[in-house]
Amino acid sequence: MKTLTTILFDLDDTLLGNSMEHFIPQYFALLADYARPVLDDTRRFLQLLLAGTQAMIQNTDPTQSNRDVFWQYFQAHTGLDPAGTEQFFDDFYRDVFPRLQPVTQPRPEAIALVHDCLAHELQVVVATNPLFPRRAIEHRLAWAGLPVSEVPFALVTTYENMHAAKPQPAYYQEILAQVGARPGQAIMVGDDWKNDIAPAAQVGLGVYWMNPAGEAPPDNTPLIGQGDLTNLRQWLTQRPPFAPTTAQN
């Protein structure tokens, strides 16, 4: 690998302790309850939410943001005007979504590593799956101890600013284009093989698998390493710009 310039971090179960098995059911319950004034059929609402999410995952049209794809789908299947409905749900992410914070756990080692990367003048990208509005992602970064008001991320991917999602390789290509990095100068760090590791490697990024349990890789995708964030820090210290230069006589 050439000199590292850019590091992409997944958010949930990478920078933030957040098991989707526990988080998603509680998130859906809160959102469905909040949505009753708009769609009182909870089952149908959740079906539409999941289908709209799937439409974003399948999208690779560079002229259509994930946000546009979701609201076009939602309007087509409900007849609701996105202009007012989107504001209704934005209020949910502002006022109700924060109730989910107790489901998550900050990771002090993640906070230290991100600040260390920035101190070494690396571009740090929050490469979370851009299926949520920015407000929801900013909440989770704050819960992780990495609020966007204090941490100068090069990019935080959201459904407003991205035109593809995981596991599409186009998602990683778009990140590189937005931050001006070449694949050989960037690495992706994440816990999900299908979403984080395989597609990023397909684009040419170095990939580090968050795998503290030491499970065997599910295929032969080449890794730069695997383990926890402490193991990643050890890997980084052996490479520029982390590795100290040796004085020449």
pTM for the whole structure: 0.94
DSSP code of residue 243: S
Q: What contacts 226, CB < 8 A, 6 or more positions away?
A: 208, 209, 210, 211, 214, 217
43 vs 145, residue with greater confidence:
145
d(CA 223, CA 211): 12
At residue 51, φ and ψ (nearest 5 deg) are: -70, -40
d(CA 117, CA 48): 40
Instruction: Read off the pLDDT of residues 6-57 as tens digits, 9 standing for 90 and up.
Output: 999 999 999 999 999 999 999 999 999 999 998 888 899 999 999 999 999 9
For 16, the 3-state DSSP assignment is strand
Report the top-level CATH class of 6-18+105-236: alpha beta
Q: What contacts 230, CB < 8 A, 6 or more positions away?
A: 109
pLDDT for the residue numbered 248: 42
pLDDT for the residue numbered 40: 84
pLDDT of residue 249 exceeding 60, the answer is: no
pLDDT of residue 181 exceeding 80, the answer is: yes
Instruction: Read off the pLDDT of residues 80-93 as tens digits, 9 standing for 90 and up.
Output: 888 889 999 999 99
